[in-house]
Amino acid sequence: MKIAVIGQSLFGQEVYSHLREEGHEVVGVFTVPDKDGKADPLGLKAEKDGVPVFKFPRWRAKGQVLPDVVAKYQALGAELNVLPFCSQFIPMEIIGAPRHGSIIYHPSLLPRHRGASAIHWTLIHGDKKGGFTIFWADDGLDTGDLLLQKECEILPDDTVTTLYNRFLFPEGVKGMVQAVRLIAEGKAPRLPQPEDGATYEGIQKKETARINWDQPAEAIHNWIRGNDKVPGAWTEAGGQKLTFFNSTLNTAGLAPEGEDLPIPGARRPGVVTKAGLILFGNDDRMLLVKNVQLEDGRMIPASHFFKGADSSALELTEEELVTAEAVRGAWKRILPSILEVEDSTDFFKSGAASVDVVRLVEEVKDLCDGLELENEDVYMATTFGDFIQLLVRKLRGDDKEGECVIDYVEKAVNKLTLRMPHQLFIGGAFVDAEGAKTYETINPTDGSVICQVSLAQVSDVDKAVAAAKDAFENGLWGKISARDRGCLLYRLAELMEQHQEELATIEALDAGAVYTLALKTHVGMSIQTFRYFAGWCDKIQGSTIPINQARPNRNLTLTKREPIGVCGIVIPWNYPLMMLSWKTAACLAAGNTVVIKPAQVTPLTALKFAELTLKAGIPKGVINILPGSGSLVGQRLSDHPDVRKIGFTGSTEVGKHIMKSCAVSNVKKVSLELGGKSPLVIFADCDLSKAVQMGMSSVFFNKGENCIAAGRLFVEDSIHDQFVQKVVEEVRKMKIGDPLDRGTSHGPQNHQAHLRKLVEYCQRGVEEGATLVCGGKQVPRPVRPN
């Protein structure tokens, strides 16, 4: 068919291109005049293809169609007009001219939401179903007969942009092509629009987009997302007009704790938190706004509302300067009316439109090897200088979104200044426990208090699980490729290596681990574990399986391995960081999110690890860490319906209880590493010196706090006394003391209760007839400082 395409935008360009691919002859394209020297994408593409392009500033004058316009149109001999997206008013003399008439794309399910702001009103009204209509044009306002409709589900946090990008654009292009195909085949229906349920809403403008606070939170959320980007829902607050973007009702785990922002007319003041701006409806329910545009046009994260402007400009490396110049070239291509792009050049004030935002984002992604960049980033940094700063921060992995305020405990130890977080880690932020509850973590070397650590409560577990679930279901973690996930884990391993001396020192301070052993084993093996599992990320795959029964050689059976969701990890105190790494790295490699409960007596390396995950760019909520008691935190994780798996290392008795709780709650998957009593058998024909060495290392490695420690030694009678004598000789050579002393071979037992148990076992052995030949009591230790 001979087709005239009347419209504009990338959507119009895609429809035009697909119609040509279908074999139709596009005899002419009618689009809008160039703006600031820039041609519309539809017209630009058609000109490249050699198709006649017309850019009439108007089609009528004083209510009458312009004869020159009609003449140029009629000369093309079009059989059908296709209007994919058109902002101009096209006269009926053109609409009705072709043999097949004209068809128009409309982004709603007509007759609902007639008018130019249909997508906005679909969201503002909170419709659960949306979609588009292709209809036959008539002289009414979106009232023509229906040709084709397709619908989709409206997601709770959809905006105009997300709905358009996810469904209305891609499916709309296909729908337009399908409609033309039906017309060409003589199968296109003409179904009169019902008037039942018909609505018409006017164009949304800035002056009509003011927020009415006397309505429920859901209605306010719908108003904000329905006006997202253009024109923008706004209110008066803080002495200026504020426009809100990126709203969500998903506030699970959020507490309205922060600085109040009074809003005239609102039931309660807004609260600026680390997550964004919490707002309230007249039903006292919360919604969260993540971005705010100030009256001067600057877009900022809502969480930064009360913060001053960041004046610390990054100094760019040679490589980054090359990237900046390449990006400057992209700005010049998009803004042809600008002679020179300077740091102060404003993208939008230089004539850029929303379609140019998409183009800029895609060009920068190509230049920066697939860097994660969103349209919102352009609105957040509208000048070239600010945009380059934002871009470089993202490339370095330290952009503002990854920043977190940390209340460190600082200690000068081992020729280092340790900076140790001591709060719970939930949703990418260090926070106090419910009720600000804390407990003391003790240095086992001298019994001194290292610091106060937040003590997690049941409500904190619920917040952490909610954060992990949201990160799994809605966050970036589930959207990035497996290879990108692996890159993040490699980066985390690199950071752990950079901080290995600090981590090993914290293990020595908090767990009594001998520093040199901690450096090699506790920390060294943790780094190796994350590197190992980082390599697994893009190698987790299913199988195709041949079957021989039903329809041989025709059926296909395949398996697909998928992450299960939120994993609860309960780790012991003997290897605080290494046990965390063994369990966590595997979960993360598979794409899961985790809530970790470190042992109550050794929480500090886990919390330092949490800080490093932020620096590595692990998305918020993927890793959550809750110091606290097993009976409270561990039990709640086992019982929680949103936790899909528990990994536990500890006693057999507790393991049985966890397995029962997991079965009763939601039949969780369970991995248990429970107690044992490993035997070492030594016969008379052994190399006695080697046997003594092996026996001692099996018993005393890591102070005997080892899952596979030789809890029982069976020595043949004929060499028993000689073996014991040599062991005592070697034990007396051991240096027991400060784990940070490089000569120490045996540090303090992990905590007082464990030491007391060991002494009790010695006493019980003597009482039951054993002969004590060495030790049996606590060695003197340094005097506890005042």
Enter the DSSP assignment of 382. Answer: -
Which of these, 649, 673, 508, 655, lies nearest to 571 by C-alpha position?
649
- Tokens 């200044």 belong to residue: 417
Written as one string, the DSSP assignment of 159-216 is -HHHHIIIIIHHHHHHHHHHHHHHHHTT----BPPPSTT--B-----GGG-B---SS-
- The answer to whether residues 437 and 452 touch, using CB atoms and an 8 Å cutoff, is no
Please provide the size of the chain in residues.
Answer: 786
Spatial distance between the Cα atoms of 130 and 142, rounded to a whole number of angstroms:
16
CA distance readout (Å), 248 to 109, 169, 291: 24, 23, 11
Q: Which residues contact 760 (CB under 8 A, 6 or more apart)?
A: none
| Closest C-alpha to 662, from 671, 651, 653, 675 | 671
Catalytic residue, chosen from 673, 729, 767, 768, is 673
Whether residue 572 is preceded by a cis peptide bond, meaning omega within 30 degrees of 0, is no
Instruction: Give the gyration radius of the chain's Cα atoms.
Output: 34
- Measure the CA angle with vertex 72, ends 71 and 76; round to 5°: 110
- Quote the strand ranges of 737-785, DSSP E: none
On the 0-12 / 13-18 / 19+ scale of CB atoms within 10 A, 246 is buried
Rounded Cα–Cα distance for residues 404 and 373 (Å)? 20
Q: Is 585 helix (H, G, I), strand (E, B) or coil?
A: helix
DSSP code for 410: E
Which residues make beta-bridge pairs with 153? Answer: 129
Give the CA angle between residues 489, 527, 637 to the nearest 5°.
70
The amino acid that residue 259 corresponds to is E
Cα-based angle 537, 542, 545 (whole degrees, multiple of 5): 160
Dihedral sign of CA atoms 129, 132, 135, 138 in order:
positive
Residue 509: closest CA among 408, 610, 414, 609: 414
CA–CA separation, 716 vs 703, rounded Å? 26
Active site residue 342: no
- In this structure, the strands spanning 643-649 and 669-673 are parallel
Place of tokens 């000369």: 75
- How far apart are the C-alpha atoms of 462 and 408, rounded to whole Å? 25
Q: How far apart are CA 420 and CA 506, in angstroms?
A: 8
CB atoms near residue 220 (< 10 Å): 28
Query: How do strand 286-293 and strand 299-301 relate by DSSP bridges?
Result: antiparallel
CB atoms < 10 A from the CB of 182, how many? Answer: 16
CA dist 268 → 28, 261, 572 (Å)? 57, 9, 45
Q: Judge contact between 270 and 261, C-beta under 8 A.
A: yes
The span from the CA of 621 to the CA of 614, in Å, is 10
User: What is the Cα–Cα distance from 353 to 87, expressed in whole angstroms?
Assistant: 15
Active-site positions?
Answer: 673
